Structure formats: structure tokens, C-alpha cells
């Protein structure tokens, strides 16, 4: 399958197959006016298959979201058809308004104006916990 | 300015200092009778807890301070829909320190993030109750003289029992502490607590047999199966009598074992045990007040 290259924009590559749509939704890419290509199950020598997202605009993506969903992705910044920067992603220490706590007893469930904050509790197992009630994400 | 939301915010060194102050208060109460003259404690109790509220109030009065507050959400502005953050900002203008009990987990943390004065978590849902843990720790300190080399049994509701989780967090920092978790399968200790213990190499066992575990224990921490933690009345009724401590069940217990309970009890410890020298639960109540005094002094930075 062939998808046009982009002139100025961002390619999120090496997304674990199956996680692309979650990233697409959490980054809110559906609200962008520019062209966005979402490629599912693209063949990959390294990974077998992978998902790819190409965004045809010079926007800033929330690397905390990428790090949380799939820290193995690479983000390529494209300028004038060339990759000018390759970013690797790290697990973010804190996620703000990315997830909502599922604990019905959590204060964030009743006080609507509170930011939903999760902190990295266990790096090895990629476990995040709600700042307020410590429930696992 | 510091608050106390989670017991682990206190290092073991700070805890030792707090215990030393507490013991000094017991020895020399007169020395502390005017330490908080002119200071006010606000007790913001969004859910009823007579025991904890009275303990905080007694602590502040014994330090010479004053108390203001409310004892249920209906008599506060929360009933009008005010946020915890706004309540904390407002009360910070009236009082020097806040003790907050709230049914929602994390509410005291939110208060501490918005308050200009220290906030003490006086219990937030099934989450944390650090001043109960301070009471437990002073009791263990006074009864055993140590926190290391102890086998501590927890019995009853280990799933929702916040006092259990907090005490485990505090005790696991000491050498050669072993835990025995005794509960019905529906109320077992949460996986995340066990995961942490396993990861840190701390020994624990799980059982449903109270009597069979008794001989090993230095401390037996009993808990109430709490009605308010259940969504379903049927589950509560089925499980509430699961583990009742009677003199017969103590037959194999060590002579110097200490029986603790955060109180109030319903029927999980027979009153026949109250006069047994091993029963420490009313001593815990006294120790709770003393530790709250020590904590108020620390957070108000009163020497």
C-alpha cells in the first residue's frame, strides 16, 4: 500500500500493531483540518507489522501520551520532505488529562474541574496510578 | 508548610522524633499544655467519625489551642456544591491547621494543594488514614519497644481496611518484619499490596484460618468488616461475622502478643477479651490522641 510522503509534518513510526488507533484518539487527531494518514499493520522488518501515523502539518504532539501508550515509537519531524529530527520517547513521569480514574470513590470523579493526574508508579511494569486515590490506570 | 496525607510522607527518622515527642507528652503533659495557645484547628468532617474528630479536638485542647469545624457534610458548604479546593482556601483564612475526613479518596490531598495552612488527612474513603497508623505505631512502640523482628497478623477486612494498608506501608520499612494476612477470600489483601511486598522481598502468608495462625504472632491487628465499604447489603451481612476473636481462639497465642484494633468494634472481638493484658485497643485510642498532639506540634512548627 502506498501513502504519499509529506512535505512538512510528523510521522509517528514503529507503533506496536494495534495501538495506532488509541494514539490517534488520545492525540485528538480527528479534529485536525490537515491530511492525516493512519496505516494499520504495515510490514516491518524489525517488528513484523506495525502501525504508522502521518500528519501533514507542523504540529506539536503530546509526547507524554505517546510515551504512555507505546514508548517504543519514534517520532520523525519532516521539513521540506526530509527527516530533520528523530525523537525517541520515554515513559512520562506524569499524565495530565489523558486518562480518567475509574475508582467511583475517587475525588476526581465528583469534582469536575480537577485535572486528572496519573503518576508513574512502576517504570519496569509501566504502571500508572491516580495521584488522588492511587488506583491503577 | 507541610501537610500529612500519607504515612509514607514521614521518614523513619521523622517518625522516631514524633514518637519521642509523644512519649515526652505522656511523661510531662503540663509542659505541653500551652504550646498552642491562640492557635486554631479546623476539623472538617465530611463524613461522620465521632472518634477521630473527638481525638483531634481533645489533642488540640490539651495543647491549649481552640477548635472549630463541622461534623457532617450536610452542615457544611459542600451541601451547596462547594469544591474541596474552595473549602480549603476559605478555611485556611480562619484556622492555623486543618484535619479533614472525607468519603472521597484523595480529597485531603486536593485540600492540601489548595490550602495556605497544613492539612492532616483524617481518613479519605478506603484510601489512607495516617493518624490511625501513628496511633498504631505508638502502641507497638510502647508495647514492644521495637518495630523490627515482628510477626504481624492482620485479620478481617483486608480489602477495604485502609488502616491495614497504611500500617503495612509503615512497618515494611523495618528489618525482618513478617506479615500474616487472615481474611475470607472476598476480603483478601489487594494484589498491589502483595506485589509491593514481593518486590521488596518482605515475607508474608495468606490464610483463612485465624486460630491456626495465632501461635506465630507478636501482634494481632483485628479489623471491622465495614458496612459503608460495601455496595451490597447482602455481601455485608454474609461476611460481617467471619472472624470473631474469643478467649478460646487465644489459647495458642503468645503471652506477650498485643491485640490491636482501630475501633469502633462491632462484635469481632469478644468483650471477654477486654480485661486480657494482651488487649491494647483502648490504649491505642489514648495513643492516638497523643500522636495527634505530637503531629499538630510538628506541622505548626511549635518547638
> Does pLDDT of B195 surpass 90?
no
Q: Residues B104-118: pLDDT tens digits? A: 999 999 999 999 999
Q: Residues B145-167: pLDDT tens digits? A: 999 999 999 999 898 888 998 99
B107 chain-A contacts, CB cut-off 8 A: 107, 132
Distance of residue B108 Cα from the nearest chain A Cα, in angstroms = 9
Across the interface, which of B84, B102, B127 has its CB nearest the CB of A134? B127
Most confident listed range (B71-80, B181-190, B236-245):
B181-190
Q: Residues B6-29: pLDDT tens digits? A: 999 999 999 999 999 999 999 999
Across the interface, which of A106, A113, A136 has its CB nearest the CB of B106? A106
Catalytic residue among B43, B52, B131, B223: B52
Q: Residues A80-136: pLDDT tens digits? A: 989 999 988 888 999 999 999 999 999 999 998 899 999 998 888 889 999 999 999
Centre a 10 Å sphere on the Cβ of residue B157 and count the other Cβ atoms it contains.
29
Can you list the domains of chain A with their CATH numbers? 9-88 (3.30.70.140), 94-130 (no CATH)
B110, A105: Cβ pair inside 8 Å?
Answer: no
> Does pLDDT of B33 surpass 90?
yes
Nearest CA in chain B to A132: B106
Distance of residue B50 Cα from the nearest chain A Cα, in angstroms = 21
ipTM of the complex: 0.85
In the residue annotation, B50 being an active-site residue is answered as no
Q: Is the peptide bond before B289 cis (omega within 30 degrees of 0)?
A: no
b/e map A43-74, b = 16+ CB within 10 Å? eeeeeeebbbbbbbeeeebbbbbbbbbbeebe
- What pLDDT does B221 receive? 98
B105, A106: Cβ pair inside 8 Å?
Answer: yes
Distance of residue B26 Cα from the nearest chain A Cα, in angstroms = 35
Instruction: Say if B107 is an interface residue toward chain A (CB within 8 Å).
Output: yes
Alpha-carbon separation of residue A59 from A10, A36, A39, A86, B67 (angstroms):
8, 12, 19, 15, 54
> Does pLDDT of B239 surpass 90?
no
Alpha-carbon separation of residue A107 from B8, B89, B109 (angstroms):
21, 17, 10
SS3 of B46-86: CCCCHHHHHHHHHHHHHCCCEEEEECCHHHCHHHHCCCHHH
- What pLDDT does A106 receive? 96
> Does pLDDT of B203 surpass 90?
yes
- What pLDDT does A88 receive? 86
Q: How far apart are CA B23 and CA B251, in angstroms?
A: 32
Best residue in A105, A116, A124, A126 for a mutation probing chain B (most B CBs within 10 Å): A105
Can you list the domains of chain B with their CATH numbers? 7-128+286-299 (3.40.50.1370), 131-283 (3.40.50.1370)
Q: What is the dihedral sign for C-alpha B142, B51, B115, A92?
A: positive
Instruction: Say if B103 is an interface residue toward chain A (CB within 8 Å).
Output: yes
- What pLDDT does B26 receive? 98
**Cβ neighbours of residue B1 under 8 Å, at least 6 residues apart?**
B116, B117, B118
Question: What's the mean pLDDT when you consider all of chain B?
Answer: 93
> Does pLDDT of B254 surpass 70?
yes
Instruction: Say if A96 is an interface residue toward chain B (CB within 8 Å).
Output: no
> Does pLDDT of B256 surpass 70?
yes
A107, B84: Cβ pair inside 8 Å?
Answer: yes
Q: How far apart are CA B222 and CA B224, in angstroms?
A: 7
Q: Which of A58, A122, A110, A55 is nearest to B81 (CA)?
A: A110
- What pLDDT does B229 receive? 65
- What pLDDT does A63 receive? 87
Q: How confident is the model at residue A2 (pLDDT cuts 50, 70, 90)?
A: low
The kind and range of the H/E element at B239 are: helix B233-239
Distance of residue A47 Cα from the nearest chain B Cα, in angstroms = 31
Amino acid at each position: 500500500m502506498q501513502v504519499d510522503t509529506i512535505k512538512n509534518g510528523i510521522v509517528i513510526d514503529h507503533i506496536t500493531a494495534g495501538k495506532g488507533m488509541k494514539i490517534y484518539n488520545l492525540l485528538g487527531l480527528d479534529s485536525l483540518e490537515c491530511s492525516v494518514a493512519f496505516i494499520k499493520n504495515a510490514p516491518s522488518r524489525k517488528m513484523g507489522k506495525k502501525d504508522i501515523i502521518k500528519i501533514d502539518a507542523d504540529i506539536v504532539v503530546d509526547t507524554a501520551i505517546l510515551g504512555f501508550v507505546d514508548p517504543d515509537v519514534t517520532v520523525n519531524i519532516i521539513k521540506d520532505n526530509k527527516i530533520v529530527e528523530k525523537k525517541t520517547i520515554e515513559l512520562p513521569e506524569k499524565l495530565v488529562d489523558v486518562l480518567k480514574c475509574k475508582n467511583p470513590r475517587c475525588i476526581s470523579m465528583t469534582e469536575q474541574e480537577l485535572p486528572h493526574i496519573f503518576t508513574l508508579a512502576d517504570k519496569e511494569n509501566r504502571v500508572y496510578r491516580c495521584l488522588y486515590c492511587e488506583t491503577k490506570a | 508548610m507541610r501537610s500529612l496525607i500519607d504515612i509514607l510522607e514521614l521518614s523513619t527518622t521523622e517518625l522516631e522524633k514524633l514518637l519521642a515527642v509523644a512519649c515526652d507528652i505522656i511523661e510531662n503533659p503540663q509542659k505541653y499544655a500551652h504550646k498552642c495557645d491562640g492557635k486554631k484547628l479546623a476539623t472538617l468532617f465530611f463524613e461522620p467519625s465521632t472518634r477521630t474528630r473527638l481525638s483531634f479536638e481533645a489533642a488540640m485542647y490539651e495543647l491549649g489551642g481552640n477548635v472549630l469545624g463541622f461534623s457532617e457534610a450536610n452542615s457544611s458548604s459542600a451541601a451547596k456544591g462547594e469544591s474541596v479546593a474552595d473549602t480549603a482556601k476559605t478555611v485556611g483564612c480562619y484556622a492555623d491547621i486543618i484535619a479533614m475526613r472525607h468519603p472521597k479518596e484523595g480529597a485531603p490531598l486536593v485540600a492540601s494543594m489548595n490550602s495556605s495552612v497544613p492539612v492532616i488527612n483524617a481518613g479519605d474513603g478506603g484510601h489512607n488514614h495516617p493518624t490511625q497508623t501513628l496511633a498504631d505505631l505508638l502502641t507497638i512502640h510502647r508495647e514492644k519497644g521495637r518495630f523490627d523482628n515482628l510477626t504481624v497478623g492482620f485479620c478481617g477486612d483486608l480489602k477495604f481496611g485502609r488502616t491495614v494498608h497504611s500500617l503495612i506501608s509503615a512497618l515494611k520499612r523495618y528489618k525482618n518484619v513478617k506479615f500474616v494476612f487472615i481474611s475470607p477470600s472476598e476480603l483478601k489483601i489487594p494484589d498491589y499490596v502483595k506485589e509491593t511486598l514481593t518486590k521488596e522481598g518482605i515475607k508474608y502468608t495468606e490464610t483463612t484460618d485465624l486460630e491456626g495462625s495465632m501461635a506465630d504472632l507478636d501482634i494481632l491487628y483485628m479489623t471491622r468488616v465495614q458496612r459503608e465499604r460495601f455496595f451490597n447489603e447482602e455481601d455485608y451481612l454474609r461476611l460481617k461475622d467471619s472472624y470473631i476473636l474469643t478467649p478460646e481462639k487465644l489459647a495458642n497465642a503468645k503471652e506477650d502478643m498485643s491485640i490491636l484494633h482501630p475501633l469502633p468494634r462491632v462484635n469481632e472481638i469478644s468483650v471477654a477479651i477486654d480485661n486480657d493484658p494482651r488487649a491494647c485497643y483502648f490504649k491505642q485510642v489514648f495513643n492516638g490522641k497523643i500522636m495527634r498532639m505530637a503531629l499538630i506540634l510538628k506541622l505548626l512548627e511549635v518547638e
